[in-house]
């Protein structure tokens, strides 16, 4: 018996060893993104879309934008020398994991990949850069086409390097349940002080719902809320990729968290997960008077929660401000990056820029995809500003949103943003929901993340 189990352990050990070998095998696959120029490597790639010009060179793309098939068809119809071969590589985290796997394997990555702004640092951190510097392919001459915030989000503080082509963004606004405010005759708040007062007034006049929901899992929302108070919590620059800045221990962060802690104690707000269907149900049932969120929230909740557009009582207002100097902020958005595995780097760089680079594609992105553009030309067009939204009572919502998009300066994120979000979420939930001390909470969070950064081999610097 002893002998038998020993043998089994030996076998297990051997298997485990071969596993770890396999896992290590791929990790030294690349150093820095280099240029390739094989025009025929993608000839046999399998695509979700139809390729119009079968003989032309193919460029592979992973993207999950809604309505992206139209963009692909438009591109392939209008180009005869190059064709897009598109697949949906998964959405958000699922796609990043898949990309990591192909990095380990040293092959299998697409030429062009859709990445959220906050996910990009993890692929350009340290010595290994998996995203191509598009600055070397003339991207800098298109700087003026994009909003400052979007441009800063793909350049990481560099004046010459560009790591992706901006596509969409999520200007931070306030969704207001107009029926509730009309019924109880309460003025829609424009400052955070008025916001709190509106909650109290609504409650006093008999509204049984909550003023809003502070989302326990609303990680990026908090970054936007801090940015409103001028508090930058993360710092990361591609030109100095071994250094990161992390600091929650600053007055702006403390002010924001204390504010929400107070609202929660006063029973004015709900503290439920954003990504639960239960929250969406409450939203549809009129249990929230407002929702302070990115503009894309419309596609996410408003359309989901109501049977018809006419049922929706929501309208978009500017997000509440602290004072006149409160900046416009943003939550979310994504861009097209070119991977180090791109078969023909130069062609991929051009396609990445051209995919959403004309009027048709930009308009389709807005009307078929529900994206909020970062392309200045569209942002300023009268057609865009005058567009009405049925789910918002035919409001010309872009009148409110477009200025926010233009005012946004850009945010910075960490090369281990997922880990940071997890830590952030735990800390803030205990502060706002359970009433843990703000001071000790933020200092503990800061040291936790700084320690993790050091473990990962980064040098921690000041965020200023």
Q: How far apart are CA 127 and CA 35, in angstroms?
A: 17
Compute the least distance from the CB of residue 412 to another protein, in Å: 19
Residues 6+ apart with CB under 8 A from 151: 143, 166, 410
Compute the least distance from the CB of residue 444 to another protein, in Å: 28
Give me the long-range contacts of 362-366 (CB less than 8 A, separation at least 24). Answer: 364/67, 364/70, 364/71, 364/74, 365/65, 365/67, 365/71, 365/167, 365/168
Compute the least distance from the CB of residue 446 to another protein, in Å: 26
Q: Which is nearer to another protein, 87 or 190 (CB)?
A: 87
Q: How far apart are CA 30 and CA 129, in angstroms?
A: 8
Identify how many contiguous H helices and E strands the chain contains and give both numbers. Answer: 19, 10
Q: Which is nearer to another protein, 105 or 204 (CB)?
A: 105
Unique residue bearing structure tokens 């207002």: 317
Q: Which is nearer to another protein, 168 or 344 (CB)?
A: 168
Compute the least distance from the CB of residue 88 to another protein, in Å: 6
Compute the least distance from the CB of residue 305 to another protein, in Å: 5
For residue 454, what are its two tokens?
A: 């050091």
Unique residue bearing structure tokens 């796609």: 95
CA angle 209, 214, 218 (to 5 degrees): 140
For 106-250, where are the alpha helices, taking DSSP H only?
A: 121-124, 148-155, 178-183, 192-204, 219-228
Q: Which is nearer to another protein, 198 or 400 (CB)?
A: 400
Q: What does the binding site for another protein look like in residue numbers (CB under 8 A)?
A: 4, 7-8, 11-12, 15, 18-19, 22-23, 25-26, 46-48, 62, 64-66, 69, 87-92, 94, 98, 101-102, 104-108, 116, 168, 170, 275, 277, 280-281, 284-285, 294, 296, 299-300, 303-308, 311, 332-334, 369-372
Compute the least distance from the CB of residue 342 to another protein, in Å: 16
Q: Which is nearer to another protein, 108 or 435 (CB)?
A: 108
Q: Which is nearer to another protein, 64 or 322 (CB)?
A: 64
Q: Which is nearer to another protein, 108 or 267 (CB)?
A: 108
Q: Which is nearer to another protein, 46 or 462 (CB)?
A: 46
Compute the least distance from the CB of residue 67 to another protein, in Å: 8
Q: Where are the beta strands (DSSP E) in 327-380?
A: 330-338
Compute the least distance from the CB of residue 459 to another protein, in Å: 30
For residue 328, what are its two tokens?
A: 């416009």
Q: Which is nearer to another protein, 52 or 280 (CB)?
A: 280
Q: Which is nearer to another protein, 275 or 386 (CB)?
A: 275
CB-CB contact of 237 with 157 (8 Å):
yes
Closest CA to 147 of 413, 411, 412, 408: 408
Compute the least distance from the CB of residue 428 to another protein, in Å: 18
For 59-106, where are the alpha helices, taking DSSP H only?
A: 68-78, 93-105
Compute the least distance from the CB of residue 464 to another protein, in Å: 30
Q: Which is nearer to another protein, 137 or 389 (CB)?
A: 389
Q: What are phi and psi of 293, to 5 degrees?
A: -155, 175
Helix axes 68-78, 359-367, angle to 10 degrees: 160
Closest CA to 152 of 415, 335, 318, 371: 335
CA angle 410, 461, 234 (to 5 degrees): 30
Compute the least distance from the CB of residue 117 to another protein, in Å: 11
């Amino acid at each position: 018996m002893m002998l038998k189990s020993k043998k089994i352990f030996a076998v297990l050990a051997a298997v485990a060893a071969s596993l770890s070998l396999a896992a290590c095998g791929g990790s030294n696959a690349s150093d820095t993104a280099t240029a390739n120029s094989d025009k025929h490597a993608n000839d046999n790639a399998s695509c979700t879309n139809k390729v119009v010009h079968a003989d032309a060179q193919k460029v592979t793309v992973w993207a999950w934008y809604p309505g992206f098939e139209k963009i692909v068809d438009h591109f392939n119809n209008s180009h005869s020398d190059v064709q897009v071969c598109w697949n949906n590589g998964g959405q958000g985290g699922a796609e990043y994991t898949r990309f990591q796997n192909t990095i380990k394997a040293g092959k299998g990555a697409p030429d062009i990949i859709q990445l959220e702004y906050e996910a990009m640092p993890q692929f350009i951190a340290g010595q290994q850069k998996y995203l191509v510097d598009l600055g070397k392919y003339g991207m800098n001459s298109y700087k003026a086409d994009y909003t400052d915030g979007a441009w800063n989000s793909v350049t990481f503080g560099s004046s010459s390097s560009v790591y992706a082509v901006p596509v969409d963004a999520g200007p931070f606004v306030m969704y207001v349940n107009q029926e509730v405010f009309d019924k109880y005759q309460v003025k829609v708040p424009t400052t955070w002080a008025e916001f709190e007062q509106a909650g109290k007034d609504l409650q006093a006049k008999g509204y049984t719902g909550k003023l809003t929901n502070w989302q326990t899992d609303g990680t990026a929302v908090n970054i936007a809320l801090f940015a409103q108070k001028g508090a930058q919590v993360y710092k990361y620059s591609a030109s100095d990729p071994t250094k990161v800045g992390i600091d929650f221990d600053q007055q702006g962060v403390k002010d924001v968290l204390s504010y929400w802690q107070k609202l929660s104690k006063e029973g004015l707000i709900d503290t439920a997960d954003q990504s639960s269907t239960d929250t969406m149900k409450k939203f549809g049932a009129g249990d929230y008077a407002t929702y302070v969120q990115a503009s894309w929230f419309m596609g996410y909740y408003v359309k989901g929660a109501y049977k018809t557009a006419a049922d929706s009582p929501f309208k978009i207002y500017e997000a509440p401000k602290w004072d006149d100097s409160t900046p416009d902020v943003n939550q979310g958005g994504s861009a097209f990056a070119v991977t180090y595995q791109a078969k023909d780097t130069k062609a991929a760089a051009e396609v990445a820029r051209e995919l959403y680079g004309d009027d048709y594609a930009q308009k389709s992105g807005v009307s078929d995809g529900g994206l909020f553009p970062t392309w200045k030309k569209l942002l300023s067009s009268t057609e865009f500003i005058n567009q009405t939204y049925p789910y918002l009572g035919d409001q010309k919502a872009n009148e409110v949103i477009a200025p926010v998009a233009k005012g946004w300066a850009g945010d910075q994120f960490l090369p281990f943003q997922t880990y940071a979000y997890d830590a952030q979420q735990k800390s803030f939930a205990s502060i706002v929901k359970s009433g843990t001390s703000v001071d000790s909470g933020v200092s503990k969070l800061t040291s936790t993340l700084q320690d993790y950064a050091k473990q990962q081999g980064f040098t921690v610097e000041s965020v200023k």
